[in-house]
Chain A
Amino acid sequence: MRPDVLPVMLVFLPFLAGLLQFIAGRPAPRLGNVLVGVNLLLVLALIPGVADEGAIVANLGGWSEPLAIHLLADGLALLMLLLTALLAVAVSLYAMAAWRDQHHDALRFWTLWPLLLGSLNALFLSRDLFNIYVTLELVTLAAIPLVLLAGPGKTVDAALRYLLFALLGSLIYLAGVALLYAQAGTLDLALLADALPDSTLAGSLGASLIIVGILIKAAILPFHVWLPAAHGGAPAAVSAILSALVVKAAAYLLLRLWSGPLDPLVTPAAGQLLGALGALAILFGSWQAFRQERLKLVVAYSTVAQLGYMLLFFPMAVTAAWQGAVYHGLAHGLAKGALFLAAGNILLYLGHDRLREMRGIDRPLAVSLLAFGLAGVSIMGLPPSGGFTAKWLLLTASVETGQWWWTITLLLGGLLAAAYVFRVLRLAFLQPPENVPDRPGMVPPPLMAWSATVLAVLAIVLGVVSAPLLELLGSPVGGSE
């Protein structure tokens, strides 16, 4: 089989599954689970090709260069696909148990989720500015209905706010694309950098609009306002997907575009500005996470903070920073998935997620708490974990470039993360109250508990297997060494 069939399958098979599920009209979780399994296999099958050749390119439609649409699977895309595939398996297993008895919600979930998976794959594989716009919209419009699964009455405000910001962000992005197309005459990422004339106002403005649009989608600090309510309000499985993948996809785009087509347009000052936004996000988000009274909001604000780390690549722009930022994306994805699934289990058992009233949950929820703790290790950036590897790479980058202010930010961010993670973990150790009242909820089935744990363990394992993954990733395409 030709290797370039694989990227195409990664987009089309999930779509096919989603459409069939839509037509079928009754939930088929098995189909969904087979799909995510196949998806993982496809991604794994991509690895040797990418490792050998650096990238696999699929031409859609067979047209020639400036016109054709390509799918590109290089190291960066592959790592994100791998993250998506792993998370997809865990989330699907979780969802199978979570929506076992709800026919309606299950149908919607199993329709939207494959479509979202296909959209995410399409986004990661995209090599075309306008494809990216459409996939961004696709991802958003699949994500918001998923948020609504928690009950439209409760989440409609959050969903509406999410939609408004996402829509504005993508149109601002499109405005940037228009300006770049006007200058370069192509939408292909690989051709764009060469086709762009040097330092025109239109080019710089276009690049800025693109970046701002993506920042809104990625919920970077001044634009984060839509995130906590949406991620905190969605069902656990959906929150995991949103926090681990959907916002990550936007951050991924920033990395991809910055180090590729926008490379001739970006300036060090812009890099510092983005870095500053990232640093602010880290500090502010962590502080907010520490102050929240509800568990899922803690985790949601933690996402605001953690996304900031990926922005620290831009001011430093060396290979170590590149690797650190991407690796942070991976580690955070796995860990955050685990955190949300574990939080979902706690919510299921207690019937609420108010931190003050959580006691005596250690026995029935031991596995979920273990998942929370392990994922917390990665979130805090403590060794051995993917989070630590990322932090280490970013730290070495900051030392290498002499930009000590990021060093301080990174260390401070780790401490703040510890503050909010342990604020939750301590609950597991608190003495149970004298008379335990009747629990309204139920003990989550093993499948739900263990899918969280598997993700958390993967986040830890990520810290041990970094060498081959980083080799796969390589260095930024246009960035300075």
Chain B
Amino acid sequence: MTALDSLLALLLLLLAARCVSARSLLQAIVAFIVLGLLLALSWVRLEAPDLALAEAAIGAGLLGVLLLGTWRSLPLGHGNERIPLPWQGLRPALITTGCTVLAVLLTVALHQHPEQAAMSGLAALDQLDAAGVDQPVTAVLLNFRAYDTLLEMGVLLMALIGTLMLDSPLPRDTELPARTMLPATLAQLFLPLILLIGLYLVWAGAYSPGGAFQGGAVLAGAGVLLILTGFGEGDGRDGWVLRALLAGGALVFTLAGLLLIPVTGAFMAYPQGLVTPIMVLIEFSLALSIALSLLLLYTGTPGLRRRGER
């Protein structure tokens, strides 16, 4: 299947080059989104379907919506630029040389294989039984390296706080839904399905591809759809329940880390027997936090409300 790999690789590179060199910002963004989808495809081929899901949902999907929305909020023609070609001046030539050398070195480095296999990875697969979940990636994320995930939730929360401080929500489209009822009807039709898939992904994360991140992203996607079809919108006010849900993912980790110290004697370790329930609790609170955070990152507002509500 090297031929297909080669084709994918070629397409990825071409799209990347297009993304950098397109004069129109819109085209660059579109190239980037397509690249994300192709990347997800290549990850499926590399035995990483859950990552492909995440990339498609978050990296290409949600980020794509955000990119397009931002592009729309910029003045006309903003961000259109022609970057100099490698031979147009000394600086581009130097940068091109440097980047090419880097790429070649990286290629060589990525082909160097050490003699023994990665010991952390082996250990992770080895101790999977004790982790409370069957899916290795979920085990790493929520148990073996749960600390990373806690910190990551912090990153998400702080990006959100920063975004809200800027008070620049995405522009809302007021005209389209008025012209046609079709998208709204469709949303009503699909919404249960999307919610189901999202929750399923969260639940399934324990034993098959999926997990809090993918599920959360899908749930956020449902929210985006609701907003796009005019059922909901961003709100300038927030409430403590919403904030608690937003902070919930990180809070559960923090509390689990602190409160269970006397019980287990170790930090962020979960008592035998309770591992699975705790994992499930963490998964769902994480998914909820992620979904809401991503949704608010999209609206750029501190709260949410139904359309027309005050």
> Interface on A for B, CB 8 Å cutoff?
5, 8-9, 12-13, 15-16, 19, 22-25, 58-69, 108, 111-112, 115, 118-119, 122, 130-131, 134-135, 137-138, 141-142, 144-145, 148-149, 152, 156, 175, 179, 181-188, 195, 197, 200-202, 205-206
Contact = CB atoms under 8 A, between A and B. Distances in A.
Contact of B158 (A58, A138, A156, A200): A138
21 contacts: A25-B240, A58-B267, A60-B146, A60-B147, A61-B269, A63-B123, A66-B119, A69-B144, A118-B154, A134-B155, A141-B162, A144-B162, A152-B166, A179-B106, A179-B110, A181-B120, A183-B112, A195-B119, A197-B115, A205-B105, A205-B109
Interface string B81-112: 00000000000000000000000011011101
Contact of A19 (B105, B119, B145, B251): B251
Contact of B154 (A15, A188, A197, A202): A15
Interface string B109-138: 110111111111111100100000000000
Interface of B: 105-106, 108-110, 112-124, 127, 143-148, 150-152, 154-155, 157-159, 161-162, 165-167, 238, 240, 243-244, 246-247, 250-251, 254-255, 257-258, 261, 264, 266-269
Contacts of B161: 22, 108, 111-112, 145
B205 to A, nearest CB: 18
A196 B287 CA distance: 37
Interface centre among B144, B151, B243, B257 (most CB of A within 10 A): B151
The main secondary structure of chain A at its interface with chain B is helix
B42 to A, nearest CB: 16
B120 A60 contact: no
Nearest to B143: A61
Contacts of B166: 148, 152, 156
Contacts of A205: 105-106, 109
B116 to A, nearest CB: 7
Contacts of A62: 264, 266-267, 269
A200 to B, nearest CB: 6
Contacts of A137: 155
A122 B151 CA distance: 9
A426 to B, nearest CB: 38
Interface centre among A67, A115, A195 (most CB of B within 10 A): A67
B120 A186 contact: yes
A66 B119 CA distance: 6
Given A131-B151, A148-B166, A186 B118 contact: yes
A158 to B, nearest CB: 13
B247 A19 contact: yes
Given A61-B266, A138-B151, A182-B112, 17 more contacts: A19-B251, A19-B254, A22-B247, A25-B240, A60-B269, A61-B267, A67-B120, A67-B124, A69-B147, A112-B161, A130-B148, A137-B155, A141-B162, A142-B158, A144-B162, A152-B167, A206-B109
Nearest to B124: A67
B119 A185 contact: yes
Contact of A131 (B148, B243, B255): B148
Nearest to A172: B102
A142 B160 CA distance: 10
B143 A141 contact: no
B267 to A, nearest CB: 5
A205 B102 CA distance: 9
B158 to A, nearest CB: 4
Given A19-B250, A61-B268, A64-B127, A25 B238 contact: yes
Contacts of A148: 162, 165-166
Contact of A186 (B119, B143, B251, B267): B119
Given A134-B152, A145-B165, A23 B109 contact: no
A378 to B, nearest CB: 32
Nearest to B246: A22
A22 B114 contact: no
Contacts of A24: 240
Contacts of A134: 148, 151-152, 155
Contacts of B261: 5, 8
B118 A185 contact: yes
B112 A15 contact: no
Interface centre among A25, A119, A131, A141 (most CB of B within 10 A): A141
A152 B148 contact: no
B117 A185 contact: yes
A183 B269 contact: no
Contacts of B238: 25
Nearest to B152: A134
Given A67-B144, A112-B158, A182 B120 contact: no
A237 B250 CA distance: 26
Nearest to A7: B267
B110 A182 contact: yes
